[in-house]
Amino acid sequence: MSWTQIAENYWVSPQIDETQVAQASEQGFQVIVCNRPDGESFDQIPSDTIASAAQEKGLEFVYLPMNGPNFTEDYVSTVKQLNADGKKVLAYCRSGNRSSILYNAATA
């Protein structure tokens, strides 16, 4: 697992799979945030597959796809709310960079 902790309750990661969703559940994560748009690459695991795996483990799944570093105010508000709720979050995209950008925007 190449998850990077960027705040007390927030980690970012490259693309995850169903096994890693189970590992996240075991490690006490409460929310999976997907910042990767579906169809970005041919070998990508679709967000609905990750969402189903998260649901099976009792995790909340939030889909906030970002094209490059672009995000909306609604995305920022969602991440702000997750932070305010104190939930343990694992956010992913292709490399983890977009997830970090969105977190930084929400905490700026």
Predicted local distance difference test score (pLDDT) of residue 1: 65
Neighbouring-strand partners of residue 74: none
Residue 72: enclosing H or E segment and its boundaries? none
Q: Supply the angle between the helices 97-107 and 73-85 in degrees, to the nearest 10.
A: 80
pLDDT in tens, 51-74: 999 999 999 999 999 998 899 999
- 3-state secondary structure (DSSP) of residue 9: coil
* Tokens of residue 95, six digits: 């490399």
Under a CB-based contact definition with an 8 Å cutoff, are residues 90 and 53 in contact? no
| Residue reference for tokens 């990767």 | 36
The pLDDT of residue 2 is: 79
Question: What does pTM read for this prediction?
Answer: 0.96
Query: How far is 78 from 89, CA to CA, in rounded Å?
Result: 12
Residues of the chain with pLDDT under 50: none
Report the distance separating Cα 85 and Cα 71, nearest Å: 21
What domains are defined for the chain?
Answer: 4-107 (3.90.190.10)
